[in-house]
């Protein structure tokens, strides 16, 4: 009998340990590495490895170390769209200076068709969402009459501000193409931390090209929307981030970078 009690106690301790160390992940959090204003200032050194990023999301967008192209994450697969337009898988060891990710579990879906501009897409999405005061992850998959996207070449130190870097951007134009838009809508009060409003990256169906979305015309597509009431920000530890002046108003630079 004492042996049975002893084994039962060991079992209870093991179950308690498992429960404490294997809590189910909260999938409804928007996780962000660094801030958009830091990126605008030229803080391009990768701080967080994708091995860590993947713990916080399977869907997202961002940049790579040295701003070496554009990042897109879809279905747990993270891709690097380089300045020459080619796409490469992102290894777990690669780092990011800025990224925003989540575990994508859509709460809402809708069909859309015959939208002739980015502005029309934004207006359509604004009518779908319940409020502009929370965060949304969005996936738009379908047929596009036209997509204009960009990427940038890897930068070398000393890093220039991002608004200068995009003067050397590569522009890619796609016509009558199938693909996916991956992006987020952030509320206006996030200014300084992220893009207020919509921010999308595009990848074609073949996963062979894409970039940061500049303009779009949609033939027909389906949008999936994942709403979130939680936002988690991970700031860089040390490095050039500590010396940046992040008090400046960057709204005009942000507009130039975004479109």
Q: What pLDDT shows up at residue 70?
A: 97
Q: What pLDDT shows up at residue 13?
A: 44
Domain residues for the domain of 115 are 29-258
Angle at 111 (CA atoms; ends 121, 179), nearest 5 degrees? 70
Q: What pLDDT shows up at residue 141?
A: 98
Which residue would you say has higher pLDDT here, 193 or 22? 193
Question: Average pLDDT of the chain?
Answer: 91
Please, is 114 exposed, middle or buried when counting C-beta atoms within 10 Å of its C-beta (0-12, 13-18, 19+)?
Answer: exposed
Which residue would you say has higher pLDDT here, 181 or 47? 181
User: Residue 145's Cα: distance from chain center in Å?
Assistant: 24
Which of 17-26, 144-153, 247-256 is predicted with the least confidence, judged by mean pLDDT?
17-26
In a domain, 1, yes or no: no
In a domain, 11, yes or no: no
Q: What share of the chain is helix, strand, coil (3-state, %, to 5)?
A: 25, 40, 35
For residue 53, the domain's CATH number is: 3.30.1330.80
Q: How many residues does the chain have?
A: 259
Which of 21-30, 127-136, 162-171, 201-210 is predicted with the least confidence, judged by mean pLDDT?
21-30
Is the CB of residue 211 less than 8 Å from the CB of residue 202?
yes
For strands 70-74 and 77-81, give the pairing.
antiparallel
Domain count within the chain? 1
- Distance between CA atoms of residues 147 and 219, nearest Å: 11
In a domain, 15, yes or no: no
In a domain, 120, yes or no: yes
In terms of Cα–Cα distance, which of 163, 193, 177, 183 is closest to 256? 163
**What phi, psi does 171 have (nearest 5°)?**
-105, 130
- Distance between CA atoms of residues 182 and 104, nearest Å: 11
Starting at the edge strand that comes first in sequence, how are the strands of the sheet with 99-102 ordered? Answer: 87-89, 77-81, 70-74, 59-63, 99-102, 29-33, 230-234
In a domain, 24, yes or no: no
In a domain, 5, yes or no: no
Which residue would you say has higher pLDDT here, 172 or 11? 172
CA-based torsion, 63, 69, 73, 78: positive or negative: negative
Segment 32-51 mean pLDDT: 96
In a domain, 6, yes or no: no
Q: What DSSP string describes 6-18? A: HHHHHHHHHHHHH
Which residue would you say has higher pLDDT here, 117 or 7? 117
For residue 63, give every residue at least 6 positions away whose Cβ sits within 8 Å of its Cβ, in sequence order, or none.
39, 44, 69, 70, 71, 96, 97, 98, 99
Which residue would you say has higher pLDDT here, 86 or 21? 86
Distances (CA, A) of 84 to 38, 72, 207, 250: 25, 16, 14, 28
**73-130 confidence digits (pLDDT tens):** 999 999 999 999 999 999 999 999 999 999 999 999 999 999 999 999 999 999 999 9
In a domain, 199, yes or no: yes
């Amino acid at each position: 009998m004492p042996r049975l009690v002893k084994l039962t106690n060991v079992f209870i301790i093991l179950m308690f340990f498992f429960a404490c160390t294997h809590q189910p992940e909260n999938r409804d959090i928007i996780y962000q590495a660094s801030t958009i204003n830091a990126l605008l200032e030229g803080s391009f050194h990768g701080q967080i490895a994708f091995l860590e990023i993947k713990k916080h999301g399977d869907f997202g967008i961002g940049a790579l170390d040295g701003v070496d192209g554009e990042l897109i994450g879809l279905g747990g697969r993270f891709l690097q769209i380089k300045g020459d337009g080619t796409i490469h898988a992102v290894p777990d060891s690669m780092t990011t200076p800025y990224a925003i990710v989540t575990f994508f579990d859509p709460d809402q879906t809708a069909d859309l068709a015959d939208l002739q501009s980015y502005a029309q897409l934004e207006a359509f999405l604004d009518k779908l969402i319940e409020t502009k005061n929370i965060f949304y992850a969005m996936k738009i998959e379908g047929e596009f009459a036209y997509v204009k996207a960009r990427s940038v070449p890897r930068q070398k130190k000393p890093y220039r501000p991002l608004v200068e870097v995009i003067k050397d951007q590569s522009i890619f134009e796609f016509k009558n193409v199938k693909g996916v838009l991956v992006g987020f809508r952030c509320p206006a009060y996030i200014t300084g931390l992220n893009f207020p409003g919509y921010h999308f990256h595009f990848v074609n169906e073949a996963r062979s090209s894409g970039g940061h979305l500049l303009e779009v015309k949609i033939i027909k597509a389906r949008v999936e929307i994942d709403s979130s009431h939680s936002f988690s920000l991970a700031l860089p530890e040390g490095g050039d981030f500590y010396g940046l002046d992040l008090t400046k108003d960057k709204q005009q630079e942000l507009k130039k970078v975004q479109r």
